[in-house]
Amino acid sequence: MHQNTIDFIREHFESPDFIPLHEPYFVGNEKAYLNNCIDTTFVSSVGKFVDKFEADIAEFTGAKYAVATVNGTAALHIALIMAGVERDDEVITQSLTFIATCNAITYLGAKPIFIDVDRETMGMSPDKLKHFLENETKMVNGFCVNKTTKKRIKAVVPMHTFGLPINLDALQDVCEPYKIEIVEDAAESLGSYQNGRHTGTKGLLGTLSFNGNKTITTGGGGMIITNSEELAKKAKHITTTAKKPHRWDFYHDQVGYNYRLPNINAALGCAQLEKLPVILKNKRDLANKYKLFFKDEAVHFVTEPNNTTANYWLNAIILDNVSERDSFLEATNNAGIMTRPIWKLMSGLPMFANSQKGNLENSIWLEERVVNIPSSVKH
C-alpha cells in the first residue's frame, strides 16, 4: 500500500522531487499588490489593504464584521477577551487540537478543560460536552460553575479540524442553558460550511488563520469574525494598542496589544482571496481523487460530514493502528513525500497534564491512527 500511495501522489503532483504537505499558491495579483503597498510606503498596521482584506473576509464568510490580526493565535486571544474570559476562569476545549488553542486560553490566566471529539468530525462532541456539563457543573448566580474546582466556566472553544465542520447547531443547543459562549477556532476552515453557514459565524466570535500553510496566506495573519458591532469595535481598539484615534496625541485608555495585521501582509491576503474559489475547487478535486484511490487500497479517507461542505485544507487518512501509522509515515517521508501524524493530545503535554478532562477515548483512537497527506493546490 505504501508504494502505491507514493506512486499516486508523485503522479498527481507531477514531481520527482520533495513534495511538501501544503505549500502556498501564488498565481494572481500578489506581486502587484505588494509593489503597490511598498510604493505607498504604508507597509505597517495602517493602510487600504488592511481595510479591504477585512471587508472581503466579512463578505466571503457572511460575518458582519472582521478584524485583522498578526496571527490566528492573537485572534483567538482577543476573541476570548471579548467573550469575557478572565484570569482563573475555565474554558472548555478539545484535547485533539493545535497548541494555539490552549496557548490562547493560558495567556489569559484561564485553565482549559478537555472534552472528547467525535470520530467523524474530529471536532468537539456535543454529546460528550453535554455529559460533562450535566454531571460536573452547576448554575450559580447565572454562571456555569465547575463542581470540582468551584471556578466559572466562561466559554467553549471547538476547533474545526483540518477544515471539517463540527455540528455547531447541536453544540449551541448544549451550551445555551449553561450561559456559555462559543468561540470558534476556525483557523483551518476558511471555505467550510455547516448547513450553508460558514464556520466561525455561529458562535459569539470566530477566528481564522492565514499562516503560510493555510488555504490562503498572508505570510502570517489571523482574523476575528463576529456579528456584534460592539465586540468588533472593541477588538479593533485593543489590537491597536488601545490608542484613542487622534491626529497627533498619544492616549491609550486601557492595556492593549500590538496585534494589528500589517498592510503588506494584508496586500498578500487580498490577492490570495481573489483566487479562493479556484483554490477550493482544486482542493476538492484532489480530495475526490484521494477518496477513489484509497477506496481501492482499503484505507479510510476522511471525508466531509453530512450537511457540511469542507474546504479539505489538509487531507487525512485513518490507518488500522499506531504501528501501521508509523510504518506509513516512515515510508512516505523516506521517499521525499511529506506526511505527518495528527497532533499529540494537549492533555498529554506537560503544561496541561493536570487539566481536568473527560473520557478522551475517541481523541486517543484518532491520535494513534490519523495521518495527513500532501494537500497543496496543484500548479
Shared domain check, 233 and 100: yes
- Does the residue 104 lie in any domain? yes
Q: CATH number of the domain that 247 lies in? A: 3.40.640.10
Flag whether pLDDT at 11 surpasses 90.
yes
Boundary-marking domain end, from 247, 275, 303: 275
Question: How many whole angstroms separate alpha carbon 99 and alpha carbon 90?
Answer: 17
Q: Which domain holds residue 144?
A: 30-275
One-letter identity of residue 280: L
Question: How many whole angstroms separate alpha carbon 283 and alpha carbon 294?
Answer: 16
Question: How many whole angstroms separate alpha carbon 208 and alpha carbon 372?
Answer: 20
Q: CATH number of the domain that 306 lies in? A: 3.90.1150.10
Alpha-carbon radius of gyration of the chain? 21
Domain total of the chain: 2
pLDDT at 287: 98
3-state helix, strand, coil in the chain (%, to 5): 40, 20, 40
Shared domain check, 169 and 113: yes
Boundary-marking domain end, from 224, 249, 275: 275
Shared domain check, 239 and 157: yes
- Does the residue 361 lie in any domain? yes
What sign does the dihedral 349-353-355-361 (CA atoms) show?
A: positive
Percent of all residues in the chain with a pLDDT value above 70, rounded to a whole number: 100
Shared domain check, 293 and 187: no
- Does the residue 304 lie in any domain? yes
Asked if residues 49 and 267 have their Cβ atoms less than 8 Å apart, the reply is yes
Q: Which has the closest alpha carbon to 6: 240, 365, 334? A: 334
Residue 305 DSSP class: P
Asked if residues 313 and 375 have their Cβ atoms less than 8 Å apart, the reply is yes
Shared domain check, 265 and 250: yes
Asked if residues 184 and 165 have their Cβ atoms less than 8 Å apart, the reply is no
Shared domain check, 291 and 342: yes
User: Would you tell me how many other CB atoms lie within 10 Å of the CB of residue 359?
Assistant: 13
Shared domain check, 302 and 254: no
- Does the residue 352 lie in any domain? no
Name, in order, each residue with C-beta under 8 angstroms of 134's C-beta and a sequence gap of 6 or more.
Answer: none
Cα within 13 Å of Cα(30), Cβ side? 15
pLDDT in tens, 321-367: 999 999 999 999 999 999 999 999 999 999 999 999 999 999 999 99
Whole-model pTM over 0.85: yes
User: Would you tell me how many other CB atoms lie within 10 Å of the CB of residue 330?
Assistant: 12
The three-state secondary structure class of 124 is strand
Shared domain check, 291 and 195: no
Shared domain check, 299 and 263: no
pLDDT tier, 180 (very low <50, low <70, confident <90, very high otherwise): very high
Flag whether pLDDT at 379 surpasses 90.
no
Question: How many whole angstroms separate alpha carbon 325 and alpha carbon 300?
Answer: 12
Flag whether pLDDT at 378 surpasses 90.
no
Shared domain check, 175 and 110: yes
The DSSP element (H or E) to which 224 belongs, if any, is: strand 222-226
- Does the residue 135 lie in any domain? yes
Shared domain check, 163 and 89: yes
